[in-house]
Structure 1
Amino acid sequence: MKKIVLLQIVATIGVAVFSALFGGEGAALSAFLAGSACWIPNALFALNLSVLVKLSPTYSPLFFFIGEFVKIIAIALLICLIVMLYEDLVWPAMIASVIVVLNCSFLGLLTRE
């Protein structure tokens, strides 16, 4: 999970830099905020899951599904907050960042050892 979160952080920075080159400061901040809204809940989910599995291995599937549900709700709420509060939002940069960062999970699973 650490590798996937690290990959998501790198992807967020990469999309923000790419957005800055082609869309300016507003696009870069839009991409960075949206990417962060995706990887921060994922990092908290991974941390929470690793701690709870060590405490009670028998309930790990339950912890996984509850944590995944909370993570999805947190991502949706953070993106809604960004849309409501950031006035200079650049939609293409935000959407691109969300797509790239969330797809890093699949890329991380494909590259596992």
Structure 2
Amino acid sequence: MNSTMYRAIILQFGAALITAIGAGAIVGTRGLVSVGLAALACILPNLFFAVRLTMVTNRPDASFAANFFIGEFLKIAATIGFLAIAVKGYPEMHWPSLLIGFAIVLHAGFIAFWKKP
């Protein structure tokens, strides 16, 4: 499962790169930065979550289910926090680019679960 999680993060990064380039070509720098911030708000919490689950998997005394739900809660909270920081810290935000970029990056990870390695 962990290799699939890391593959999902790589796919999210690829989708973010393509979407940011597209937004940059259509909207300009504002679009590129907006997609980049949305991608960071999505990818970083997922990466931390994957690392946390990898560490828990290697510990025999840890409850995987409890750590999964705690990690998922922290991931969602971190995503909301990163988005709030991005909106506050970048006043020139292009909202359509942010929302479209966030949706594309968030859903790109599901492609990794379609095919087994």
Q: Shorter chain as normaliser: what TM range?
A: over 0.9
* Cα distance, 1:53 vs structure 2: 1.3
- Aligned residue for 2:59? 55
Q: TM-score, normalised by structure 1?
A: 0.94
Pair 23,62 (structure 1): closer, same or farther in 2 beyond 3 Å: same
- Aligned residue for 2:107? 103
1:73 aligns with 2:112: no
Deviations 1:46-99 (A, max 9, x none): 011101111136511111110001000000110011111101100011001110
Deviations 1:10-32 (A, max 9, x none): 11111100000100011100101
Pair 58,52 (structure 1): closer, same or farther in 2 beyond 3 Å: closer
Instruction: Kindly report the root-mean-square deviation, in angstroms, between the aligned alpha carbons of the 2 structures.
Output: 1.2
* Cα distance, 1:36 vs structure 2: 1.1
For 1:5 and 1:112, locate their aligned partners in 2 and report how far apart those are by CA, in whole Å. 15
Task: Give ranges in structure 2 of 5+ residues lacking alignment.
Answer: none
For 1:57 and 1:22, locate their aligned partners in 2 and report how far apart those are by CA, in whole Å. 52
1:9 aligns with 2:13: yes
* Cα distance, 1:101 vs structure 2: 0.9
For 1:101 and 1:15, locate their aligned partners in 2 and report how far apart those are by CA, in whole Å. 8
Paired positions, count: 113
Q: How does 1:79-98 map to 2 (within 5 A)?
A: 79-98=83-102
Q: TM-score, normalised by structure 2?
A: 0.91
2:47 to 32, 43, 50: 43
